[in-house]
Amino acid sequence: MTAPAFVTSGSTALTSGLTHAAGTSVHRPRSARRPPCPRFTMSASRKFLVGGNWKCNLTKAAISDLVSAFNAASPLDPTAVEVVIAPPAIYLDSTRQILRDDFAISAQNVWVSAGGAYTGELDATMISDVGGDWTILGHSERRHHPVLKESDATIAEKAKYALETAGLNVMYCIGELLEERQSGNTVAVCERQLAALAATVSDWSKIVIAYEPVWAIGTGEVATPEQAEEVHFAVRKWLEKNVGKGVAEATRILYGGSVSPANCEELAKKGNIDGFLVGGASMQPSFLEIVDSYKTAMAATV
């Protein structure tokens, strides 16, 4: 018997109101709860990934303390979970030198192509030169900040260079603004952002998608597990239709936006949520509790 292609999603919550405050999303009124989704069996083969995006925060001393806490924790099961830390660019090299080997290092952004006369930019090959394996691209803070306003096309061009020339893995962020959700355009926005990438790259083996609703980033307004799962399901369907079934089954889709130790487990239970991209909560030793939610995800697959 063939397994169902994807977790079947419940009725739509894509235009529904938001649930306030990290951790409270799991305490929805009973009438609002949906029956548990069956899990797509392939999810067991998508290794859980937890990214920590430190954004433009921390100092050398604060990083040293945080890394000491991370390094003191037990080894990870490398077959079950991957951890990727994205320090500010200036600390990328020094963080790589002190951080445990089983945590990978990521840039938060790179230039669109090879280096040269581009003041203030970073060639993606410089990331691998100092031991980094990843870059985040298309974060909403770069898509939407008025000073930056990175376009879909620019982000896709960056992804192509990072993947094909520098050999980095890419965490490609997508997600809707609050007004786009409220006007029922959540999936259309995500699909537009995905289409720009699909038009530019052909090998998806080093791409991870991070679905990060903009209204949930740094606000304490976490998407409910159902809201997140519904978009992840739509993203996977889009990949199946527009890129291929194999890519849809294998590509990890992370959720990001006010993930915390209090809400990660309920999110991790969802069949199409393959990990997290964590901002604020990744700068605390309790980030390790979020990493540990891979165990909840694994238990939910059996």
Active site positions, annotated = 139, 212
280 near ligand PGA, judged by CB under 6 A: yes
Which of 279, 292, 297, 300 is the binder for ligand PGA (CB under 6 A)?
Answer: 279
CA-nearest of 9, 68, 55, 53 to 35 is: 9
Our CB check for ligand PGA shows the closer of 257 and 271 to be 257
* 95 in contact with ligand PGA (CB under 6 A): no
Examine residue 184 and tell whether it contacts ligand PGA (CB under 6 A): no
In Å, what is the CA distance from 219 to each residue of 214, 223, 267?
A: 9, 11, 17
Which span sits near ligand PGA by CB under 6 A: 5-13, 104-112, 194-202, 211-219? 211-219
DSSP string, 228-278: HHHHHHHHHHHHHHHT-HHHHHH--EEEESS--TTTHHHHHTSTT--EEEE
Choose, by CB under 6 A, the member of 127, 207, 259, 264 that binds ligand PGA.
259
Q: Between residues 143 and 270, which has the closer beta carbon with respect to ligand PGA?
A: 143
Give the range of 42-50, 87-95, 98-106, 275-283 binding ligand PGA by CB under 6 A. Answer: 275-283
Angle between helices 152-164 and 186-198 (to 10 degrees): 40
Give whole-number Cα distances, 22 to 74, 220, 257, in Å.
Answer: 27, 5, 9
Report, in Å, the least distance between residue 189 CB and ligand PGA.
Answer: 16
Separation of first and last alpha carbons in the chain:
17
List 9, 169, 251, 258, residue binding ligand PGA (CB under 6 A): 258
Q: Does 145 bind ligand PGA (CB under 6 A)?
A: no
Alpha helices in 84-216 (DSSP H): 92-98, 124-129, 140-144, 152-164, 178-182, 186-198
Angle ∠(277,140,182) on CA atoms, nearest 5: 100
Query: Using CA atoms, how far apart are residues 68 and 98, in angstroms rounded to an integer?
Result: 8
Distance, CA of 172 to CA of 166 (rounded, Å): 16
Question: Which residue lies nearer to ligand PGA by CB, 6 or 172?
Answer: 172
Among 82, 152, 212, 292, binds ligand PGA (CB under 6 A): 212
Which of 145-153, 176-184, 238-246, 256-264 is the region at the interface with ligand PGA (rule: CB under 6 A)?
256-264
Residue with smaller CB distance to ligand PGA, 87 or 280: 280
Q: Which of 132, 225, 256, 261 binds ligand PGA (CB under 6 A)?
A: 256
> In this chain, which of 124, 214, 277, 300 binds ligand PGA, going by CB under 6 A?
277
Question: Is 257 near ligand PGA (CB under 6 A)?
Answer: yes
Binding footprint of ligand PGA on the chain (CB under 6 A)? 53, 212, 217-218, 256-259, 277-281
